[in-house]
Amino acid sequence: MATCNICGGSEFEDFRGRPFEKCSTCGSLARHRVGWAVYGQELLGTKNAEGYVLHLAPEPWLFPKLKEELTSGYLCADPSPKTYPHAPCLKLYFPQDFSLFPDGYFTAILHNHVLEHIPGHYGDHLKEFTRLLAPGGKMIFSIPGPYKGQPTKEGGEHLATDAERLEQFLQEDHYRLFGDDFEPTMEALPDGVFWKDALTDEARAALSVRPRKAPFFIWQRDG
């Protein structure tokens, strides 16, 4: 029987056509449960958890748990802090606000389904995010897709209407669709290593997550 690692619940329901995706008790989705498992494996209890940790768009399922585990260096940010009343959010707009931070400022950067909301070129954003990581620091994140058999499509911010973005980018506020170049772009980032989360399909099943779904990506700056 699957159990939610956020709340301990054991009932799951379909969500947007995805079977047993949503925890009926706390409402967590697959990416929240996988995220918590991956943080447990890759971040919590490590030296990186003791420095400045930046969490973008801090989800209500993950914020309270991270707050309990991390130190006073745990920082949350979003362009629209009102969307996250449960968390003390800094108001940051990327890409403009990358320049606020010196090289190597953070020991970890966490973001889920954020990269598709940042206008511009995602390769530039990844260079900036990884620039902000201290030696040995990790970025742990997830994105929609990547979608196979097509290159990344960008430019949603230049469309005139939400309806056009919904049609071309699958959500009103998404500016890109990630494609086949995503992983090679990650691998080409200098001075670090890239890998996908190591949760097995069995571990996913125990969280009511289908095989290989909600992949988390990790990039670590060389130590």
Residue with tokens 């967590």: 28
Residue with tokens 């949503």: 22
Instruction: Based on the shown chain and the rule CB under 5 A, indicate whether residue 9 belongs to the binding site for Zn ion.
Output: yes
How does 146-157 read in b/e, with b if 16+ C-beta sit within 10 Å? Answer: beeeeebebebe
Instruction: Based on the shown chain and the rule CB under 5 A, indicate whether residue 6 belongs to the binding site for Zn ion.
Output: yes
Between 23 and 37, CB nearer to Zn ion: 23
Cis peptide before 95 (omega within 30 of 0): yes
User: Which window, 1-9, 97-105, 114-122, 206-214, contacts Zn ion (CB under 5 A)?
Assistant: 1-9
The correct pick among 2, 3, 20, 25 for binding Zn ion (CB under 5 A) is: 25
The least distance separating Zn ion from the CB of residue 38, rounded to whole angstroms, comes to 17
User: Which window, 23-31, 91-99, 113-121, 143-151, contacts Zn ion (CB under 5 A)?
Assistant: 23-31
The least distance separating Zn ion from the CB of residue 218, rounded to whole angstroms, comes to 24
The least distance separating Zn ion from the CB of residue 25, rounded to whole angstroms, comes to 5
Q: Which amino acid is at 108?
A: A
Instruction: Based on the shown chain and the rule CB under 5 A, indicate whether residue 115 belongs to the binding site for Zn ion.
Output: no
Instruction: Based on the shown chain and the rule CB under 5 A, indicate whether residue 206 belongs to the binding site for Zn ion.
Output: no
Give the x-and-dash track for 65-104 against Zn ion (CB under 5 A).
----------------------------------------
The correct pick among 28, 112, 130, 142 for binding Zn ion (CB under 5 A) is: 28
First to last CA, the chain: 40
CA dist 45 to 48, 62, 69, 104, 211, Å?
8, 16, 8, 20, 27
Instruction: Based on the shown chain and the rule CB under 5 A, indicate whether residue 23 belongs to the binding site for Zn ion.
Output: yes
CA dist 30 to 23, 56, 123, 147, Å?
9, 18, 26, 18
Instruction: Based on the shown chain and the rule CB under 5 A, indicate whether residue 107 belongs to the binding site for Zn ion.
Output: no
What span, in angstroms and rounded, lies between the C-alpha atoms of 107 and 130?
A: 10
Q: Within its chain, how far is the Cα of 54 from the centroid? A: 11
Residues pairing with 127 in the sheet: none
Q: Where along the sequence are the contacts to Zn ion (CB under 5 A)?
A: 4, 6-7, 9, 23, 25-26, 28
